[in-house]
Structure 1
């Protein structure tokens, strides 16, 4: 307790309030392992060796559970002067409750509809206890499930929809969407050059682009958005130095998101302000990320031509030098003076030089201009909200997505296979199709089951040309990565090619069951 008091005072002296989070009713395996009677089965329970979501949760049908949680919170109240107490409320599987006689009795006795309303019962009961002790409750957006507690502040992490719903209910909201403010995500698409992270992609500019107050809200509802929070979960950060690297300077961008009116935000001006801040990081010996000073590239289809136009830029005042053969740029490489036209398979590398010395990191982008690139094409399947990218253009623009599923280069779906129809315009010979696919188990993304290629000359009747079935997943439940899948077949001469990428329907569960529908993420359909 003395150590906690010391931390609280250290923060107070710097005008920071520490808000404790005591997880319930899920994410409590450590407590169950110590006190097995807190669970539905009585154990034995084992402390987790890997992070994740456990099916073992507090027993909501036992009064002893509530007595324990109230005792813990009473001790927490005395240690933390914060007005708020965070109770988690997230990622609570209902499996144990469905089988537990005590939990089922609680549902019947309180005329609850189901286990989701049982979770709401737990949250509301703890809310009453917290309020009775002069505190306010915060919970992750799952506390919306089964009915929202009246005085709870909702922390919206699964996108912005939970925050919108809570504000419309009249509850206060803290916006913390994983799409923009998860600082444990990769901050560069060049993952090979980065320390291992949980996945995703959120660079400084993406953090800065976030606006916490959704436009869907009325003026009165908007007043309920109390602020924004960045999350930096440390499962993949073994040292404080790495925490610094993941936080700086993204945390500076988040600060401006919190205190700047939308109409006053301008990224180029932020970069000007953050440059001397980075010098302070350097002088203080902090381990900061320098991606913000690297060359950036944007490639778009050239209007009226079957090529790409690549524009390079840098906030650093210097010369951009580049190569197109995959070699590392040096101070005497080609000077960038105008957008680059890309018409074939090229490996562009670019770096900024100031007074002949490199600044920032190397920009790397490979282009693959196959027979499918820039052709008339149609996406004949549905995508999931937020993962449509640029539609069919994403699959035929000559740019392969990297290992970040949310970098805008991937088509994502949780309900469909991906079906792309390519129209070459005239009869064309080809014998190979390639497709890129992701696996990121912790984001519910799985390698596809199969890839099938069909051909046609009239766009109506299609014949199977080749297929790749029973595609193995990447090894290990937490193994993330990208696979380039190739289907070879006898040479075809056809005007149309239809590529079907079949989704793996469910995520693999440790117990072999099939519960959670998986996502399929696909990019760049290549035909050769």
Structure 2
């Protein structure tokens, strides 16, 4: 018999060979294991296959119950002898250095999973379940461990409420793909979703709203309703529900992390308890009053009940997108700033974060927050969840803090995953499976001693535009599989083409299990023209920006040459190919063709995505000149900007005959302001 030793990610389609005959066998495991050594032979599964577990009593019960409910239907036995699957917790495992790692050894007679923890055994079981087919388990040895300790998914249950059975269903899938954190976004303006005994109005009133969809509610007054009232939409988890979910997750070695938003995204709280806002008026404020001592009494009471329900090491406190609008004029906030020697409202926010961290630390917990908690100074023991790119995470790491990488460009599953006109309405953006898979959470430039501070990665599904369980699952799967492989698998074993084949198979398996994944086999792909350079007369020419026509620094698309670099933008302005102009500034650019040139076409594409306030221009003017001073207008286009629910692309161009050295392209925003985005001025 000949044994093949192959790194898994390089080719999970593995060949088994014998001297007499070659037999092709493929294995499909997500995430890709660290090392696979396949041998000839199969361990057959049958009704008499035994299960022997040598582990601590708690882990033994979890594993036994889990396998009893699995398709394997293994029969518990009292000894390791015979045709048996053995799960063995060992004191040391020289092959791997992670407690979540495992070694799976399969022979035609026996299966042995070894690990130093129950979690390691559990992940070995997931690999075993994925390997099993109608014949049984292929013989060989798999040695495996995770790249990151934190492998997470965040579910927003505030904007749209999803019941506990839906959450359990997702926990099953997360565990199957070796994710170990579920972050629940429990509170936000659209609804408070957790029972707090001391503050009943949070669930009697702040958990219910007028409209079933977030968008209707957001555009129609944003009112709350009494529980049981006519047309009241919403819901919440009772404390018993939370205990049930936490226990269910623990049985799958998943930690549930609660998020209680502060100081912002708290309209629902400040309408139910307006005395905690700066103005004491319902429906007027989004930020807690940091100067009010009652704010801290409320937050500490809420967090006390939360900590009693969630045993997680971390409590997430949000910390993002605080408007701070009333703090400069609030007497209590200003008094707090003067007393504490705080120079600005950023430091006032930092004061709140620091104080809440001291409270959490005193109760044996750690603070986790979005990267805005860096503003005004980071709390001493906090961990940063970096969502506005990777910069916040790297800043935290540089200062000795842990970071969880979750940048919107790679990890926000509320974006479209395929051509927008083929998908239900989303908030915008374009995040296909391949883009998720391409994410590297650890920059190559990061110093080796800082690498361990990158604690892990997380995908996020915010649900403003995701109103149903079926829609949520379509947004999660299969993209979460790509994130799982980013989080678990060593980069050396990753290969997208191989992963894509495994993901196609996984989609079919998920459908059989009752999930509603995106049909990956029907993927359309990126916007036509975006995957290859476009050739035209202006490529590489000098571009001059007019007065007060500078592009927005955050969307430069590469700078002054971006509009003539031959690169067409994709489905999203976030792909760094679209140049953005904001604040009703006129896009006013002149291209120097270097010499008088015969021209027959000048045009540029614009996009519109109304949700994030990206609009078409209201006016476009195309002109030419030979001296760069006196311009002749070729075409003036007026356009009525109309808000809609689509992602649309329109080319504003001129066709004809002209000769000129200079080409001037101007575009103006309409009544809605917002962003103008264009990708390339094409000249032919």
Q: Which residue pairs with 1:44 in the alignment?
A: 282
- Aligned equivalents of 2:540, 2:376: Cα separation in 1: 47
**How do 1:16-31 residues align onto structure 2 when only pairs under 5 Å count?**
16-31=254-269
Q: Which residue pairs with 2:368 in the alignment?
A: 138
Q: Which residue pairs with 2:631 in the alignment?
A: 463
In the alignment, structure 2 segments of 5+ residues that lack a partner are 1-238
Deviations 1:476-501 (A, max 9, x none): 7xx56435364669964324322233
Q: Which residue pairs with 2:667 in the alignment?
A: 501
Q: Which residue pairs with 2:87 in the alignment?
A: none
- Aligned equivalents of 2:559, 2:265: Cα separation in 1: 38
The partner residue of 2:543 within 379, 383, 386 is: 379
- Aligned equivalents of 2:472, 2:527: Cα separation in 1: 29
| Contact 2:507-2:520 within 8 A present in 1 as well | no
- SS of the aligned residue for 1:180 comes to helix
Cα-Cα RMSD: 3.3
The partner residue of 2:489 within 260, 278, 283 is: 260
Q: Which residue pairs with 1:169 in the alignment?
A: 399
- Aligned equivalents of 1:173, 1:407: Cα separation in 2: 24
Tell me the CA shift for residue 378 of structure 1: 3.1
Tell me the CA shift for residue 171 of structure 1: 0.9
- SS of the aligned residue for 2:241 comes to helix
Calculate the TM-score normalised by the size of structure 2.
Answer: 0.58
- Aligned equivalents of 1:469, 1:117: Cα separation in 2: 48
**How do 1:398-477 residues align onto structure 2 when only pairs under 5 Å count?**
401=569, 403-407=571-575, 409-413=577-581, 417=587, 419-421=589-591, 423=593, 426-428=596-598, 430=600, 433-443=602-612, 445-448=614-617, 450-458=619-627, 460-466=628-634, 468=636, 472-475=640-643
**How do 1:121-136 residues align onto structure 2 when only pairs under 5 Å count?**
121-136=351-366
Tell me the CA shift for residue 267 of structure 1: 1.0
| Contact 1:21-1:87 within 8 A present in 2 as well | yes
The partner residue of 2:437 within 205, 208, 214 is: 208
Tell me the CA shift for residue 259 of structure 1: 1.4
Q: Which residue pairs with 1:99 in the alignment?
A: 329
Change (3 A) 1:80 1:115: same
Q: Which has the higher contact order (CA 8 A, sep 6+)?
A: 2
**How do 1:274-423 residues align onto structure 2 when only pairs under 5 Å count?**
274-291=503-520, 294=523, 377-381=541-545, 384-385=553-554, 387-388=556-557, 392=561, 397=566, 401=569, 403-407=571-575, 409-413=577-581, 417=587, 419-421=589-591, 423=593
Q: Which residue pairs with 2:312 in the alignment?
A: 82
**How do 1:207-226 residues align onto structure 2 when only pairs under 5 Å count?**
207-226=436-455
- SS of the aligned residue for 2:409 comes to coil
- Aligned equivalents of 1:43, 1:296: Cα separation in 2: 48
| Contact 1:56-1:96 within 8 A present in 2 as well | no
Which stretch of the first structure deviates more once superposed, 421-430 or 238-247?
Answer: 421-430
Deviations 1:346-386 (A, max 9, x none): xxxxxxxxxxxxxxxxxxxxx9x9xx566553333465356
The partner residue of 1:154 within 384, 396, 421 is: 384
- Aligned equivalents of 2:524, 2:426: Cα separation in 1: 23
| Contact 1:375-1:422 within 8 A present in 2 as well | no
- Aligned equivalents of 2:529, 2:538: Cα separation in 1: 11
Tell me how many residue pairs correspond in the alignment: 439
Tell me the CA shift for residue 229 of structure 1: 0.4
- SS of the aligned residue for 2:650 comes to strand
Calculate the TM-score normalised by the size of structure 1.
Answer: 0.74
Deviations 1:19-57 (A, max 9, x none): 0000000011111111110111111227xxxxxxxx531
Change (3 A) 1:118 1:376: closer
